[in-house]
Amino acid sequence: MPIAVSLVGSDDRDLLMRLRERGFRVAQVALSELDMVHPIGSKGPDAFVFDVRGLSRLPREIGQVKRQFPSVGTVIVARALDPAEMLEAMRMGVNEWVAEPLQYSDVDAAIHRVARVVTKPLVGRTIAVLGAKGGVGSTTVAVNLATALRVASGQPTLLMDLHLAHGDAALFFGAEPRFSVLDALENIHRLDETYFKGLATTTKAGPDLLGSSNRALQGTMEAMRVRSLIEFAATAYRHVVLDCPRVDAAMIDAIDAASTVVVVANQELATLRAASRIANDLRLRCGPDRVRLALNRFDPLSEIRQADVERVLGGPVKYVFPSDYRAAVAALNRGEPLMLEPDGRLAEAIDDFARDVGGLPARPKDSSKSGLFGLLGGRR
Ligand SMILES: Nc1ncnc2c1ncn2[C@@H]1O[C@H](COP(=O)(O)OP(=O)(O)O)[C@@H](O)[C@H]1O
Ligand SMILES: [Mg+2]
C-alpha cells in the first residue's frame, strides 16, 4: 500500500511531483481546505507534510490537525532550522522538520519515519522516571519498576535508558547490551517491531533493555526523534519505563510522550526544592494528573518528616520507598534488580508502586506474609 500523504499549504510543484515519483500517494491541500478534505471523524492520511516556507509563522492548523489526528505523523518543510519555531512545532506534536536547501531524499526519509512510527496504535503505557538530583536513586527505581511490571503482568516490558552518556541501567541488570538508544534513533526509519526488539537486550530479570549510548544527542531535532522512539516503543511493549537524565527543555518535550512521569526525591532540602521546581514545570507542561512524586531512601528517623516533605512539595507524596542500603548494594553486586529478592520491604514497596502506576491489580494482601497463602499466591 502506498503511503498516503497530505501535502498542506505548498505551491511547490517540484516537491509534489518528486513525492509522487517516489511512490507516495499525495493529495495537495490548501490550509483553508483542511477541514473539508479531512473532516472530523475521518481516518486521515498516513502523514501530513506542512510546507511553511511561504509563511511568516507556523499556522495554527498544525495544532488542530494533531488534535484531530493524534496518531498521524507530521513533517514540516521550512526555510531554515529555527530552534524557537522547532520547539513550538514540537509542542504541537510535530515529528520531523526538514529545511532548505531542500533534499527530496530528506523529505522522503522523514515521511517514512513518521508514517512507520504511527502505523500501529499505541498499546503500551509509558512511565518516565526522573531524579530531582543525581544519586537520589532514580535508576534504581526505574530498573526495579520495569522488573516489577514484567513480573506482575507477565507482559513484554522495556527499560529504555535515555542518558546521553554512561547511563548505568545495564549495570543494574548485569547486562552488556550490544546496541543503544542511539542505534535505534539513527535507524528510526527502519524500525518495525522485529528490528526494534533485535536492538533491545533481554535481561535475566525479565524486562528488555535498550541501554544508554556513549555519544551525545543534540538539540530539538533529536528530541523530536526521541519522542517518536518513545511512541514507537509503546507499540511494541505493554510497559515502557524510561530512565531519564536530569531534565532540560528538550528532554521534557521528549518525555511528554510518556503517560506518567515520576519525580524521585529524598529527604534533603536541596533535593526537595529541586523536586518541587521540576514537578511544577512538568505539571504545567503535561497536566497535573500525569505527574507523581516518589520519596526514595525514606528514613523514618530523619529530621525531615514526610509531612515536611509534602509541605515543600505542595502536595501528597504518593510513593515512599524505605532506605535499605544493604539490599541496594547486594543487588547491584549481583547484577540483579533488588525486586527479585523477595520479602524485602523495599521490594514490596516497589511492587505496590509498580502495580499502582502500571494500572495492574493490587498485590494480594495475604501473599505478603509467609505461610500457605504466600506459597499458594506464588508471589514471584
Ligand atoms: N531505597 C534505597 N535504599 C538504599 N540505597 C539506595 C536506595 N535506592 C538507591 N540506593 C543506592 O543509591 C545509589 C544511587 O542510586 P542510583 O539509582 O544510581 O541513583 P540515580 O540514578 O538517581 O543517580 C546506589 O548506590 C543505590 O544502590
Ligand atoms: Mg541514574
Please give the number of the atom of ligand 1 that sits closest to the Cα of 131.
22
Q: Which ligand is closest in space to the CA of residue 245?
A: 2
Q: What is the pTM of this model?
A: 0.79
Q: What number does the ligand 1 atom closest to the CA of 136 have?
A: 22
Helices within the chain (DSSP H only): 13-21, 34-37, 61-68, 83-91, 104-117, 138-153, 169-173, 181-186, 193-199, 219-236, 249-255, 269-286, 306-313, 325-334, 345-357, 372-377
Question: Which ligand gives the minimal distance to the CA of 144?
Answer: 1
Residue with the three cell numbers 524500525:
191
pLDDT of residue 378: 41
- Cα 167 to ligand 2 centroid, rounded to whole Å: 6
332 lines ligand 1 (CB under 6 A): yes
Q: pLDDT digit string (tens) for 65-74? A: 988 888 788 9
Ligand 1 site, residue 325, Cβ cutoff 6 A = yes
Ligand 2 center to residue 25 CA distance, Å? 45
> How far does residue 286's CA lie from ligand 1's centre (Å)?
27
Q: Is the CB of 297 under 6 A from ligand 1?
A: yes
Query: Distance between CA 253 and CA 94 in Å, rounded?
Result: 11
Chain centroid, CA 39 distance in Å: 30
Which residue has the least CA distance to atom 21 on ligand 1?
Answer: 139
Number of residues in the chain? 380
Count other Cβ atoms within 10 Å, centred on residue 127: 24
pLDDT tens column, 20-62: 999 999 999 999 999 999 998 888 999 999 999 999 999 999 9
**Tell me, what DSSP letter sits at residue 271?**
H
| Ligand 1 neighbourhood includes 54 CB (under 6 angstroms) | no
Q: Which of 140, 326, 338 to mutate to test the pocket of ligand 1 (most atoms within 8 A of CB)?
A: 140
For residue range 224-251, list pLDDT tens digits in order.
Answer: 888 888 988 998 999 999 999 877 777 7
Q: Is the dihedral of CA 377, 262, 202, 73 positive or negative?
A: positive
**Domains within the chain, CATH numbers bracketed:** 4-117 (3.40.50.2300), 125-377 (3.40.50.300)
Is any atom of ligand 1 closer than 6 Å to the C-beta of 212?
Answer: no
| Cα(165) to centroid(ligand 1), Å | 18
Q: Which residues on adjacent β-strands are paired with residue 239?
A: 125, 157
Q: Does residue 195 surpass a pLDDT of 80?
A: yes
pLDDT score at 369: 46
Separation CA 314–CA 56 (nearest Å): 42
What is the band of 116 on the pLDDT scale with cuts at 50, 70, 90? low
From the CA of 324, the nearest ligand is: 1
CB of 262 shorter than 6 A to ligand 1: no
Find the angle CA(92)-CA(97)-CA(101) to the nearest 5 degrees. Answer: 150
